[in-house]
Structure 1
Amino acid sequence: MILRVSRYRPGVDAEPVFQDYEVPDRDDWAILDALNHIKDTVDGTLSFRWSCRMGICGSCGMTVNGEPKLTCGTFLTDFTGPVTVEPLRGFAVIRDLVVDIDPFLANLSKVTPWLVREGEEPASEFAQTPEQLEAYKQYSMCINCMLCYSACPVYVLNPDFLGPAAIALAQRYNLDSRDMGDRFDVLSSEEGVWGCTFVGECTSACPKHVDPAEAIQRYKLTAALRSVLPFSRRRS
């Protein structure tokens, strides 16, 4: 199998170029296995991110034949011809397949992605019913792989857009019965939910079935109701 890999060396290359590598066409190899084979036995200068190899850490996201994918869960057997591997789109390339994730992390921090409480800490843990857990569980499955950002045409054109994962994570806490935070100002801003044109590619790209498109549309309703009824409940 031929892997056509995007290569970029800062200070040396004016722009990314493609380099072809021949790798064993093994039935049990993911794209990440093929990249590690290249790194270990063919070209040690190839740079890319990976960690767990189990679809949990989210660090091995790349563009595979034009689509954002976790390379640990995308297999050589899924393809019949050369496989093109590029960095995630919408992010500045640091080197080869490694992209700058600082803007993504900055967007995450804007939505206060933690439980916000007011008053004294309780003497015991906050118990939740199964129904209360189910309200936000779907959105808690996000692994911050950034595939939804790479698939989102809005974010690619406007990096100031909060993006699907950040908004879905905000909803994870908005819908948590233990949270007392108020994320209205950041989510209802021009760079928040109203920047989304509801293409839905973020949901299609998500490997954990989080459905960030649904999270965005749900909060649009919340923001609209709150604009009309300022004292309406924030959870929806």
Structure 2
Amino acid sequence: MPVGAVMVTVKVRRFNPENPDAARWEQFQVPTLPTDRLLNLLTYIKGYLDGTFTFRRSCAHGVCGSDAMRINGVNRLACKVLMRDMLSKNGKPITITVEPIKGLRVEKDLVVDMEPFFDAYRQVKPFLMTSGHAPEGERIQSRADRARFDDTTKCILCACCTSACPVYWADGSYFGPAAIVNAHRFIFDSRDEGAGERMEILNGMDGVWRCRTTFNCTDACPRGTKVTQAITEVKRALLFSRKTVIR
């Protein structure tokens, strides 16, 4: 064990689709340093303790969003959870619980089926919609116009916000916070001409009016996006004229 390391208990929710009735919690004793991230501990489990343990990860820098999971009951990215913030201050042993995000079908251990999440994302048309000939250079925009939607450009599609939403847990047909955030990013883009079309989509029974403003989504976002505020702004835009949306 490395000098300065301590042993922690990582309690993981296990699920094997070949034996679904055997779903269980399993505990592992893992050495850790305060400088480690939780992702390091999960990698240690897979590499040294149980090679069948399954989870997603890629960049390990909080950019790809692939390692979203519930850590001690809260949606987080494993690569952004620092062990120095998790370790006991009085030296007592600690247990960290890790389980898959909610609202999406579990495929194996911490891996969930992300297709319903991405399907909702695609339905809000998350791309620039314009008419006429494309300009020879970039589409120029003022700093003020850019600032109007800057916060919602930070989404990394990790699903932390959507899978933290109680409405989404109860009914997966709800578009969910992440889809609305990505619609917001283009609805308020002064260069875009598809605001009305997106708002019509979000005005349906599975759109923004399903939000109950619990702020779970905002608390869960690893990028600090004001998710609930973005949803509220889309609601407000729907209540006023379409012209208000693009100003």
Shorter chain as denominator, the TM-score bin is over 0.9
Q: Normalised by the size of structure 1, how large is the TM-score?
A: 0.94
Count of matched residue positions in the alignment of Structure 1 and Structure 2? 232
State the percentage of identical aligned residues.
35
Moved more, 99-108 or 4-13: 4-13
Query: Aligned ranges for residues 57-206 of structure 1 at < 5 Å?
Result: 57-79=64-86, 80=88, 81-181=94-194, 182-206=197-221
TM superposition score normalised by structure 2: 0.90
Decide which of 56, 76, 91 is 1:49's aligned counterpart. Answer: 56
RMSD: 1.3
1:5-57 CA deviation, whole Å, 9 max, x = no partner?
11111121315211111100311111110000011111111000000010100
Give the C-alpha shift of residue 128 in structure 1.
1.2
SS of the equivalent of 1:2 reads strand
**Which sections of structure 1, spanning at least 5 residues, go unmatched?**
none
SS of 2:133's equivalent? coil
Q: Deviation at 1:123?
A: 2.8
1:74 & 1:89 partners in 2: Cα distance? Answer: 19
Structure 1 residue aligned with 2:226, among 208, 211, 214? 211
Amino acid at match of 1:201: N
2:18 corresponds in structure 1 to 11
Q: CA deviation at 1:89?
A: 1.1
* C-alpha contact (below 8 Å) 1:222/1:235 kept by paired residues: no
Q: Is the 8 A contact 1:200 1:213 kept in 2?
A: yes
Q: Is the 8 A contact 2:155 2:223 kept in 1?
A: yes
